[in-house]
Amino acid sequence: MTAFGVVFTVIVMARTTYFTGAGERFVIHLTGAIICGVIVALAYKMDVPERVKSAACLMTTLTIANMTAIPMLYFTSGFSTEEVSGVASDTLNCLLLTCGGLVGGILLMYFMSTLNNRRLSSLSIVLTVVTLLLAFIVLLFSDRSSGTSIVFGVQVALPGLILMILCSAVATHVNRGRQFLCLGAASVLAGTIVFRNEMGVPTMFLAAMMVWYLFFAAKHDRILTTMCLMLPVVAAAGLLFFKKFGDEMSGVFVEKVMSRVFAEEVQHNVYSQRSLQQSGLFGSSNYIYMPEASSDFSLITIAHYLGLIYLSIVLIIVAVFFNTANAELINEKKPNTDITSTIAEMSLCMMTVIIIYNILMCLAGFPIIGVQMLFTGTSNMVSILSGFLLGCVCFSSSAVEKTRKKINEIGRELL
Amino acid sequence: MRIRYAKYRAAILCFFIILCCSISFSSAVRTVMTTPENTAASPLEYLLELDGTISEGNSYGEVLSIDGKPIAAEIESEEGESKFCGVEGYTHIVGSPSGGLIYACRNILLANDNSANRLLHQGNSIVTTIYSVGMKAATEQLEEFDDSETSAYICVVLRDGAVLVAAGNNVYSPEAFFSPDDYEDLYIDYTGWNTSKGSTFKPLTLRMLLLEDDSLDEEYSLYNRSFKDYNTVTVNGDTISNWDCEISGNYTTDEGNGVFSRELDLSQAIQFSANTYVLRHADKLGLETTYNKMNDLYFLDKTLCTEINELSMNEVSPNRLHYLPWGQDAYLSSVELCALYNYAFGGDYSIPFYCARVVRPNGEVIYNASPQPIKDKSFSIDPREDILSNALADAFKSYLTEEQQDKFSELVSSRRILAKSGTADLADEAVNRVMVLTVLNEDRTQVVCTACMCIDHTFDYNISNGYMIEKIINVLESMQII
């Protein structure tokens, strides 16, 4: 895997540098490659769980590919200069933000691991207030014309997603009253985001919680389990219903569903197919008109420039990562009753749902509901979210403790 | 309970994930293995392996005349909106993103190839067959036709189908591209427009009849030097007359009941532009047979696709087949007419084309037009011996005044110019005036090109053949073709 990483990195760096004809691009890639190399080296050198190693591979594979493919949009595609100039320059920035999110996730988990029940109970109140405040901000200040929950240029649905995960995780460790408050606040925020025409994040949150409940929850209620199992069936039936009768119905919600998911002018699936057809096994750098390249369909952009072989490697790494992480988190020797395990489980479910749905959306023509592949694209918020979720999944208290001791030792030696 | 089922849960979840990845992967493989559809691509795009998608982000490549002059440019409206459009004199051919060559070839003009165009955001350039020198001369010749109801245009088509000149008296204003409703004829390429071409169609019918001469008896053979031509005939219940039917001096015999006759050979029939001569020969062969054989020979019932337009003659109603042989119902474009003349007098049929080359931003030529005549349509012809070619060479001399004969004495004596005029009557008493000149090479063994000038919907009945010939010759001389 390491050998593949080295060869792959060199090839993509040379390729992008050639096509862009810009030497500074090589420096940017080298920087990105070094950062990713350090992460992979640390993951393999330190005594960490297996899931951390496969997570480092997944992150490296996707971020390096992202840094390679997205800038090529500017030089080889038909996108306008204005459309892609920002896209091309932001990929290194996204890697740095991903690393920031990763460290942030690990620190938050470390902080959570130090909380006792009383403090956790207080934290639930704080989280409830912050979540409701965010819902209030989304309601009042979001840009209604954008079709997403953007407030002052920031896509708040993604930090909102982090808050919703934390609320849900804390809710499983507090008394029933606080539980009601936390889940209520998360629901209000999700509902507000839906009200502001953003469907992807709330849908993914609901799906992730469903997966968590079915596969990770310590106790199961028969009715709730049945509801969780029925939910995908109901969603699929709803989509089929809209597809068949949506044209004859009216209303804002119907229009939103029809325009975003089924409308003919949403040509992303067609463009995805064209893009993949041109990519072949080893990628193409020919003229192409690609779908929403910088966000939801960034995986297609990457696959177009790097080919089907790269795509298959990503899919294998995704499968390996989830297999390892699931096995390690579910198959503990003792039940996971601490808050950090719950957050890790929910984060893993969130990653699973987002990555798998995005793959299905890009490659298998699933309805487009605004779900971006983690570690790719040029959205700062998605980069932070990707790093944060990975940090939560990979958090290992023993590894953090060892690292903390090591840092202390180095500090003492230096002093 | 939780620990007991933990392994199963992990296995189920992993199975689900791997299943999703497999579905996606198989779908991706299937997509990659599928050949992209090229349904939206034009023939030239198909040749260049473009799939009809548009690259909105690139700037347009250049559009050049055959002699390297840019004939399209980015223009800006008073409001600051910019568009890539044809420059003055070329708007009707080059057009803009809404019409003309730029519209028809936008995928080529916007497409780029990263290996050739790494740092530029520019599409391919198209070198057209249009010759700027000839276009300039033709535009100057048309300047006097500033009446908005009269469309005057000149086109020149080479033997291989290359359209050298396609000039019209179209209105030009840069603002027209931003408010097209105020300048309706801006994009109309008159040379590609179907109008009645009158008697200029007769030589095409006669060529077909010559090829079928064995099917006609001796009297109706086109080699018959004394064919009895009547001033008026009745076919399918309609009376068809010669334009000079009432000039008894042109006829030698009074047949009674207002019918006069004269003896003509082919050359005289061409010079008199005798409608009944052509019609009676066609009728002898059979009007339907004539129509079918004309279609077989000239693809009149087919659509010829060029890079920027589609050329096809208007369909002829079965009950008006007797109006076609002498040209009254021959509605076709002047470009197609020129191509058919090249064929009728050269023996090789080449489809007209406008794109000579497609060049990448780095100068690499990715398409070079290599027009080939349609082989199974070719027939052998020697213009020096050909009775029809000689008849049209005689007609050229007959169209000129004595003064013009002196002026063009070299051309007249060399018999290199084959000419045929035409006049089509329109419903509102206006007429279409047409003149076609086919140029042979110096030893008269091959056709070089055919030029056509049309003045559509004019009420000026005094436009002489010599006047139109002089204008065409000026254009041909500017390009040093003659």
Evaluate whether B455 touches B152 at the Cβ level (below 8 Å): yes
Supply the pTM of this predicted model. 0.67
The confidence score (pLDDT) of residue A286 equals 64
Q: Tell me the C-alpha distance between A322 and A55, whole Å.
A: 9
Contact (CB<8Å) B20/A311: no
Residue A78 with chain B: CB contacts under 8 Å: 53-58, 110, 112
List B353's β-bridge partners, or say none.
B162
At B255, which helix (H) or strand (E)? strand B253-256
Torsion B305-B311-B314-B318 (CA) sign? negative
- pLDDT bin (cut points 50, 70, 90) of residue B1 is very low
Structure confidence at residue B78 (pLDDT): 77
B contact test, residue of A72, A216, A330 with most B CBs within 10 A: A330
Distances (CA, A) of A287 to A67, A149, A205, A294: 19, 33, 37, 17
B158, containing H or E segment: strand B151-158
Q: Do A78 and B118 touch (CB under 8 A)?
A: no
Q: Quick one: residue A197, left, alpha or beta (phi over 0 = left, psi -120 to 50 = alpha)?
A: left
Q: What is the pLDDT of residue A311?
A: 83
Residue B129 C-alpha, separation from nearest chain A C-alpha, in angstroms:
27
Give the DSSP letter of residue A377.
S
**Could you say which of A72, A311, A352 has the minimum Cβ distance to residue B28?**
A311
Residue A267 touches partner B, C-beta closer than 8 Å: no
> What whole-number distance in Å separates Cα of residue A338 and Cα of residue A175?
15
Give the whole-angstrom CA distance, residue B448 versus residue B456. 26
Higher pLDDT: B331 or B25? It is: B331
Partnered with residue B221 across adjacent β-strands are: none
Average pLDDT over residues A382-394: 90
b/e map B234-271, b = 16+ CB within 10 Å: ebeeeebebbbbeeeebbeeeeeeeebbbebbbbbbbb
Contacts of A285 in chain B (CB under 8 A): 114-115
Asked if B34's CB is within 8 angstroms of A308's CB, the reply is no
Residue A333 reports pLDDT greater than 90? no
Phi, psi for A150 (deg, rounded to 5): -100, 125
Number of H helices, E strands in chain A: 16, 2
Nearest CA in chain B to A83: B57
Over 80: is that where the pLDDT of B60 sits? yes
Q: Which of B341, B156, B327 is nearest to B242 (CA)?
A: B327
Q: Is the confidence at residue A265, as pLDDT, over 70?
A: no
Q: Which residues, at least 6 apart from A180, have a Cβ–Cβ distance to it below 8 Å?
A: none
Interchain CB distance below 8 Å, B9 and A215: yes
Distance (Å, whole) CA B11 – CA A327: 8
Taking the C-alpha atoms of residue A265 and residue A254, their distance in angstroms, rounded to an integer, is 16
Closest to A279 (Cβ–Cβ): which among B20, B32, B110? B32
**Which site among A18, A51, A58, A287 would you substitute to test the B interface, given the most B Cβ atoms closer than 10 Å to its Cβ?**
A287
What residue type is assigned to position B217 of the chain? D
Tell me, what's the pLDDT at B56?
Answer: 57
Task: Output the pLDDT for position B69.
Answer: 92
> Which pLDDT score is estimated for B247?
77
| Chain CA centroid to CA B28, Å | 46
Helices marked H in B263-400? 266-272, 275-285, 287-298, 334-346, 387-399
pLDDT (mean) for A22-35? 72
Take residue A90 and report the two structure tokens written for it.
Answer: 């932001």
State the DSSP code for A118: H
> What average pLDDT does this structure show over B379-397?
90
**A79 has a chain B CB within 8 A of its CB:** yes
Angle at A16 between CA A10 and CA A22, to 5 degrees: 115
Is residue A241 exposed (0-12), middle (13-18) or buried (19+ Cβ within 10 Å)? exposed
How far apart, in whole angstroms, are the C-alpha atoms of residue A84 and residue A78? 10
Contacts of A218 in chain B (CB under 8 A): 2
B59: chain A residues, CB-CB within 8 Å: none
Contact A388, A105 (CB under 8 A): yes
Residue B134 pLDDT greater than 90, yes or no? yes
Give the residue ranges of DSSP H helices in B226-333.
266-272, 275-285, 287-298
Closest CA to B398 of B477, B456, B328, B469: B469
**Which residue in chain B has the smallest CA separation from A20?**
B118
Pair of tokens at residue B257: 């009941």
- pLDDT reported for residue A71: 74
Length of chain B: 482
What is the 3-class SS of A248-275, one letter each residue?
HCCCHHHHHHHHHHHCCCCCHHHHHHHH
For residue A365, the chain B residues in CB contact (below 8 A) are 27
Look at residue B118 in the predicted model and tell me its pLDDT: 59
Calculate the average pLDDT of chain B: 84
Q: Nearest-CA neighbor of B113 among B128, B123, B103, B125?
A: B123
d(CA A358, CA A369): 9
Given an 8 Å threshold on Cβ–Cβ distance, is B121 in contact with A285? no
Least reliable range by pLDDT among A225-239, A276-290, A341-355, B163-177: A276-290
How far is residue B444 from each of residues B390, B416, B439, measured CA to CA in Å?
A: 11, 6, 9
Mean pLDDT, residues B374-391: 87
**Which of the given ranges, A240-249, B238-247, B405-414, has the highest pLDDT on average?**
B405-414
Taking the C-alpha atoms of residue B34 and residue B320, their distance in angstroms, rounded to an integer, is 50
pLDDT tens sequence across A104-156? 999 999 888 888 888 889 999 999 999 999 999 988 888 766 666 777 777 78
CA distance B64 to chain A (A): 23
Question: For residue A264, what pLDDT is reported?
Answer: 46
DSSP string, B375-416: GGG-----TTT-HHHHHHHHHHHHHS-HHHHHHTHHHHHHT-
Q: Which two tokens stand for residue B210?
A: 């010559």
User: Which of A363, A371, A373, A393 should be substituted to probe chain B, the one whose Cβ sees the most B Cβ atoms within 10 Å?
Assistant: A363
Q: Which residue has the higher pLDDT, A408 or A80?
A: A408
Identity at B451, one-letter amino acid code:
A
Task: Search chain B and give the residue with CA nearest A333.
Answer: B3
Asked if the model's pLDDT at residue B115 lies above 60, the reply is: no
Beta bridge partners of B439: B417, B449
pLDDT band at B22 (very low <50, low <70, confident <90, very high): confident
Please state, in angstroms and rounded to a whole number, the distance separating the CA atoms of residues A260 and A254.
10
Percent of chain B with pLDDT over 70: 90
Cβ distance B76 to B96 under 8 Å? no
What does the alpha-carbon distance between residue B196 and residue B206 come to, in Å, rounded to a whole number?
18
Q: Touching check for A356 and chain B: CB below 8 Å?
A: yes
Q: In which band, very low, low, confident or very high, does the pLDDT at B329 lie, cut at 50, 70 and 90?
A: confident
More confident residue, A22 or A414: A414
The answer to whether B24 contacts A362, with C-beta atoms less than 8 Å apart, is yes
Asked if B231 contacts B318 with a C-beta cutoff of 8 angstroms, the reply is no
Q: Which of B20, B31, B57 sits opposite A83 (nearest CB)?
A: B57
Helices A339-364 and A157-171 pack at an angle, to 10 degrees, of 140
Q: Looking at the predicted structure, is the pLDDT value of residue A101 above 60?
A: yes
Residues of B within an 8 Å Cβ radius of A: 2-3, 6-7, 9-10, 12-14, 17-18, 20-21, 23-25, 27-29, 31-32, 34-36, 50-51, 53-58, 110-115, 118-119, 121
A23 touches chain B (CB under 8 A): no
| CB contact at 8 A, A257 and A242 | yes
Strand-pair partners of B450:
B157, B438
The Cα of A312 is separated from the nearest Cα of chain B by a number of Å equal to 7
A360 touches chain B (CB under 8 A): yes
Indicate yes or no: CB of B112 within 8 angstroms of CB of A308.
no
Q: Please, are residues A42 and A394 in contact by the beta-carbon 8 Å criterion?
A: no
pLDDT at B63: 93
Q: Given an 8 Å threshold on Cβ–Cβ distance, is A286 in contact with B6?
A: no
Separation CA A375–CA B212 (nearest Å): 76
* Beta carbons of A78 and B57 less than 8 Å apart: yes
> Where on the phi/psi map is residue B368: left (φ > 0), alpha (ψ -120 to 50), or beta?
beta
Which among A335-339, B110-114, B307-311, B444-448 has the top mean pLDDT?
B444-448
Cα-Cα end-to-end distance for chain B: 101
8 A C-beta contact, residue A156 and residue A379: no
Mean pLDDT of B359-386: 86
Q: Tell me the Ramachandran region of residue A365: left when phi exceeds 0, alpha when psi lies from -120 to 50, beta otherwise.
A: left
Which stretch, A78-82, B182-186, B467-471, has highest mean pLDDT?
A: B467-471
d(CA A343, CA A252): 35
Beta strands B304-305 and B310-311 are antiparallel
Asked if pLDDT for residue A79 goes beyond 80, the answer is no
A364 Cβ under 8 Å from any chain B Cβ: yes
